[in-house]
Amino acid sequence: MSTMPHQTISIRQTIALTMRVALEHHDRGQLQEAAALYLEIQSMDPAHVESRFLLGLIEASMGNLDVAIHLLHAAVRARPEAAHMHRALAETLYRAGYIATALDSYWRILSLEPANPAAFINVADMLVALKPDGGNDRAAERCYRRALELDRFHPAAHSGLGHIHERANHLSLAEHEYRTAIGADERHAASHAGMARVLFRQRRYIESADACRRAILLRPDSPDMLDQLGDALQQLNQSIRAQACHERAATVRAAMERASDRKREEANGPQGAEQWQRSAVPYTTETPVDAPQEAVPVQ
């Protein structure tokens, strides 16, 4: 029989009940209510990892990224083996602009899930984002190809290779990879977008416009694709339609900015997490960006 004091048992029961209610709110999208309950759990048990992690997810969804990073980093330190927590931290770091540190987190996920093609793709994507001049493209290409060894029809890996070829001006190779990605998943919006860009650069404007339309059907909130369609239509002497596309792109961008502002305002509401803000610091690391190299076999 347990010798645990009755008060401790009662606290555990209270935390379990509060957590269940908080998760119900979270599942319904009632984020303010869920966050308040997660904070209540933290006041009862500051070492409660799951409530801290889920509060971090809410702060990230509200756009309060530095607060989210602080919370998610604390959760990861408590559970270094939890790949899903590393993944949430890495995604939030990337959104906050800490690309090198996000890459480090993705390396850690790769060490936890070495047979997961998505882990290699995430590392490759961060390598590309870290050096837009193409300085990491060879390492990224190795990661994409390793992902294809694990899943030969993974659309994101083919799309990533297409992007690398596109940046290197190997347009035929880029087109091939984008077409392969679309063949694997016709709803892969990034590949339709890449195809639109490559076809435009080859002056195949009718085909480029068609690819733009497919991308927009899948991702109607993409101002870049609306602008790309406008550029293609302009080349086809459809000036009025081109102008409408560019105006729509500007409208979408403005709406996205307003939505982002609203999220920030909500994050600073009475149920927000200002108390975390004072102690929130960006997660940093001394791990080199391009390590560990053994995870990416040279071909």
Q: Is the peptide bond before 5 cis (omega within 30 degrees of 0)?
A: no
Mean pLDDT, residues 24-46 taken together = 94
Sequence length of the chain is 299
Of all residues in the chain, the percent with pLDDT exceeding 90 is 80
Establish if 36 belongs to a structural domain.
yes
DSSP state of 294: G
82 pLDDT more than 60: yes
Long-range contacts at 1-7 (CB < 8 A, ≥ 24 apart): none
CATH code of 209's domain: 1.25.40
| 3-state DSSP assignment of residue 187 | coil
CA dihedral 259, 93, 298, 136 (to 10 degrees): 70
How far, in Å, CA of 227 to CA of 243, rounded?
A: 9
CATH code of 44's domain: 1.25.40.10
Helices 189-201 and 223-235 cross at an angle (nearest 10°) of 30
Establish if 222 belongs to a structural domain.
yes
Quick one: pLDDT at residue 261?
Answer: 78
- What global pTM score does this model have? 0.78
Sorting pLDDT into bands at 50, 70 and 90, what band is 2? Answer: very low
Count: domains in the chain: 2
For the segment 54-74, what is each residue's pLDDT rounded down to a tens digit? Answer: 999 999 998 899 999 999 999
Domain span at 19 = 8-83
